[in-house]
């Protein structure tokens, strides 16, 4: 920029810095106190910038015709510029973020002009293609040389078109530098499974058998591994990785937006499209093998491989996304290791969503914990979970303390703690000697982060899996870390999605937590192990239809009580809009000719391909029954109901397993909400602290006004924000127009 432009920018910068200083020292003045996104032009302190830049009447003329604001403001601008120059010359590893660049997350409704106006205040230029989500749009922005990253983020986030502005933090893998390799030659029919203690510990073989015997046909679940890549030549991965969709995130010249793209995955250890392997990464190779290493070909096998059953190597559609576009020096070993950024991860999540991934493994975390970053990822991951049915699993981190990690600490993400077995302690580790609790031979790994923000535990020490040695040799070896525990949980989650595709991501999460094995004296969730150790057998048996011959106690035969539903406050007063009548769910008339069972043994039986339940009186049960805590409905002839069911004026939904659905249900492109009683919700209703609205057919409404209230793309009622020209208050009601 020329001298005049730089002068005007510095003056604007000085005014902005002064405004930020006032906010910090004196508290937020009234003009700053409007809710986010609710500030009109006359109320925005930053709106004075253009006027200030144009008004030179109070400027001093300094040689060469260059103008500056008063001395105090000028010195503040010079100091900021000096700090910015120092920041740009600093080591990225020490900063923990990329200098000269911020991540801007715009409101989804922001126009191109509003976006540009928001970043003009820091002379910003978008440096990549936008990552677009239903609620927001994220993009990295190159900032002026005269402003630090922190100041730029504070300035930009004041604009009502901006949801978040934050540094482009770096991200790292969560493995410990202890890989011990073994040659891949001379192994047959998965002889190395004996070294995979975690396979039997999480009861994966029993889960494979349950799927094979109880699921007539199994459609694979698409699983994304966002990591450093994976070796495509490894004998246990070559036939497993989806090469057509696996990708490497690359970006070329700065400010060349089209250079940000995904290219076909080449392997593990490539850096940002480089011609050769620049850092000897094997993290993604190891993680991928834990999930889905090929069964039956010699070597190891994955937790979700299917073992030797008829479903072997057909349960998982594995997509590997190399999100680590940079490299850095590991301070512990001095070796080059993979490194990525906020935008690498966001871009990868967008790609995983676009290709329909239902489980995402993220054995990674950001190098800092920042509240703004946490809020953004909380929002982003919730959207992907609820709107795109994506179950995200992330590693808790390896600092060995109760310290939150992003994204593992997000409410909608399954955060995973690492476990250690007494017989499988890695050399040099003190997991057993330093343990504060033991359950049999199991305890939390000494390196693992923990806390009430974590959800599940899984083996993560002495984990034997696929390796790529020195960037060129396919082999096997041990690695430690929550990075290794994370894919164990992701693999089990994937098998649940195969067995019960009608379950939402949140319902799958609920199944995993409720079937986990308690590890400590605290019943239920605790800060040392979350809900406990993931249990593949228990999870799969919970969601699969009961096998013939299974016996259980007869339910009480009563209809579930409406009192089980969450308490709902009176709905906001609203005039119901005129809308075209929508077709109600349909259900076939139930046959009404009861028969006597051929057996008097209590439990589930199949008759003509239909499930029935024999009660303790020897007759087929009818109506509502509760078996092992789950409600089923049996027609008059005893056949188990599935799909939509209307009883009186109330609709219910029975899953493919016959289990009554509760909570959120997505059928096709439509969301429904089933109360705790199973009854389909219509009109206004509250889930947690959030209001939603479903029409008479039960379809959740989105992106529309309901009377004086607005429901967003997620279906949630908007509060305290602007919707275009209209503002809604804290109760969600429209209260003003701009």
CA distance 437 to 228: 34
Using CA of residue 661, residue 663, residue 665, residue 670, what is the dihedral sign? positive
Q: Which two tokens stand for residue 373?
A: 């970053």
Backbone angles phi, psi at 137, to 5 degrees: -130, 125
Residues with active-site annotation: 227, 283, 483
Bridge partners (DSSP) of residue 647 are 650
Structure tokens at 49: 């910038």
Question: Cβ atoms within 10 A of the Cβ of 487, count?
Answer: 34
Q: How many CB atoms lie within 10 A of CB 293?
A: 31
Least Cα distance to 105 among 95, 120, 88, 118 occurs for: 118
* Cα separation, 320 vs 49, whole angstroms: 46
**Residue reference for tokens 């249990």:** 535
Token reading at 146: 């005269």
Determine which helix (DSSP H) or strand (DSSP E) holds 88, and give its type and residue range.
helix 71-89
Q: How many residues comprise the chain?
A: 738
- HSE value, Cβ hemisphere, 13 Å, CA-based, for 704: 13
The 3-class secondary structure across 275-309, one letter per residue, is CCECCCCCHHHHHHHHHHCCCCCCCCCCCCCCCCC
Residue 417's H or E segment, with its range, is strand 413-421
> Distance between CA 159 and CA 166 in Å, rounded?
14
Can you tell me the distance from the alpha carbon of 262 to that of 131, in angstroms, rounded to the nearest whole number? Answer: 13
> Tokens 């450093």 map to which residue?
228
Angle at 488 between CA 484 and CA 489, to 5 degrees: 120
Sign of CA dihedral 274, 329, 352, 657: positive
Give the CA distances from residue 178 to residues 231, 283, 469, 489, 588, in Å, rounded to whole numbers and listed in that order: 19, 12, 13, 22, 60
CA angle, 54 as apex, 53 and 60 as ends, to 5°?
75
Long-range contacts, 580-589 (Cβ 8 Å, 24+): 581/696, 582/695, 582/696, 582/697, 582/699, 583/697, 584/646, 584/651, 584/696, 584/697, 584/698, 585/643, 585/644, 585/646, 585/651, 585/653, 585/680, 585/697, 585/698, 586/644, 587/643, 587/644, 587/645, 587/646
Q: How far is the CA of 715 from the CAs of 38, 203, 684, 703, 709, in angstroms?
A: 20, 38, 11, 7, 12
| Pairwise CA distance, residues 96 & 119, whole Å | 23
């Amino acid at each position: 920029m020329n001298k005049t432009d730089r002068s005007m920018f510095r003056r604007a910068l000085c005014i902005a810095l002064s405004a930020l200083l006032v906010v910090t020292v004196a508290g937020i003045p009234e003009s700053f106190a409007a809710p986010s996104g609710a500030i009109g032009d006359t109320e925005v302190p930053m709106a004075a910038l253009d006027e200030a830049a144009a008004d030179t009447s109070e400027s001093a003329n300094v040689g060469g015709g260059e103008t500056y604001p008063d001395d105090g403001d000028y010195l503040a601008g010079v100091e900021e510029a000096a700090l910015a120059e120092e920041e740009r010359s600093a080591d990225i590893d020490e900063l923990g973020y990329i200098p000269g660049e911020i991540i801007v997350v715009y409101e989804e409704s922001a126009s191109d002009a509003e976006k540009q106006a928001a970043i003009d205040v820091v002379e910003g230029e978008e440096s990549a293609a936008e990552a677009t989500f239903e609620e927001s749009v994220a993009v990295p922005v190159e900032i002026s040389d005269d402003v630090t990253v922190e100041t730029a983020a504070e300035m930009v986030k004041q604009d009502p078109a901006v949801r978040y502005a934050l540094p482009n933090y770096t991200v790292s893998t969560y493995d410990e530098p202890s890989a011990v390799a073994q040659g891949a030659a001379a192994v047959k029919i998965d002889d190395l499974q004996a070294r995979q203690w975690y396979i039997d510990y999480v009861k994966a073989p029993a889960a494979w058998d349950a799927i094979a015997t109880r699921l007539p046909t199994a459609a694979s679940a698409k699983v994304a591994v966002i990591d450093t890549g994976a070796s495509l030549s490894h004998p246990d991965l070559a036939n497993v990785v989806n090469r057509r969709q696996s990708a490497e995130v690359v970006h070329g010249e700065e400010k060349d937006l089209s250079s940000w793209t995904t290219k076909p995955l080449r392997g593990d250890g490539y850096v940002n499209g480089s011609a050769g392997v620049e850092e000897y990464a094997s993290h993604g190779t190891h993680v991928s093998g834990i999930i889905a290493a090929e069964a039956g070909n010699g070597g190891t096998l994955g937790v979700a491989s299917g073992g030797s059953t008829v479903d072997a190597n057909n349960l998982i559609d594995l997509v590997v996304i190399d999100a680590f576009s940079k490299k850095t020096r590991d301070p512990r070993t001095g070796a080059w290791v993979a490194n990525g950024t906020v935008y690498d991860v966001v871009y990868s999540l967008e790609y995983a969503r676009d290709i329909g991934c239902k489980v995402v493994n993220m054995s990674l975390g950001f190098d800092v914990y920042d509240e703004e970053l946490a809020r953004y990822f909380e929002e982003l991951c919730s959207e992907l979970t609820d709107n795109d049915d994506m179950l995200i699993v992330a590693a808790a981190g390896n600092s060995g303390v109760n310290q939150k990690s992003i994204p593992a600490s997000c409410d909608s993400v399954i955060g995973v703690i690492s476990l250690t077995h007494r017989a499988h302690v890695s050399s040099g580790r003190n997991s057993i000697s330093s343990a504060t609790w033991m359950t049999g031979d199991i305890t939390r790994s000494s390196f693992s982060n923990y806390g009430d923000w974590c959800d599940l535990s899984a083996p993560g020490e002495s984990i034997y899996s696929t390796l790529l040695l020195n960037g060129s040799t396919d082999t096997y070896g041990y690695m430690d870390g929550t990075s290794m525990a994370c894919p164990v949980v992701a693999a089990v989650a994937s098998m649940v999605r195969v067995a019960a595709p009608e379950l939402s991501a949140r319902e799958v999460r609920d199944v995993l937590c409720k079937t986990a094995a308690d590890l400590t004296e605290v019943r239920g969730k605790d800060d040392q192990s979350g809900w406990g150790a993931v249990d593949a057998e228990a999870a799969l048996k919970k969601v699969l239809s009961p096998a013939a011959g299974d016996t259980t106690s007869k339910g009480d035969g009563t209809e579930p009580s409406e009192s089980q539903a969450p308490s709902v406050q009176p709905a906001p007063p609203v005039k119901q809009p005129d809308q075209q009548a929508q077709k109600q769910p349909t259900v076939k008339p139930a046959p009404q000719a009861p028969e006597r069972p051929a057996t008097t043994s209590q439990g589930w039986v199949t008759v003509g391909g239909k499930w029935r339940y024999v009660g303790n009186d020897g007759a087929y049960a009818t109506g509502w029954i509760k078996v092992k805590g789950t409600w089923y409905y049996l027609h008059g002839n005893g056949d188990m109901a599935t799909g939509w069911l209307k009883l009186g004026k109330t609709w219910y939904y029975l899953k493919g397993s016959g289990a009554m659905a509760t909570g959120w249900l997505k059928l096709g492109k439509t969301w429904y909400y089933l109360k705790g009683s199973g009854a389909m919700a219509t009109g206004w209703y509250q889930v947690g602290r959030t209001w939603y609205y479903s029409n008479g057919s039960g379809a959740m409404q989105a992106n529309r006004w309901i009377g004086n209230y607005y429901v967003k793309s997620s279906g949630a009622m908007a509060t305290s924000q602007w919707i275009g020209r209209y503002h809604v208050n804290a109760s969600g009601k429209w209260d003003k127009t701009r």
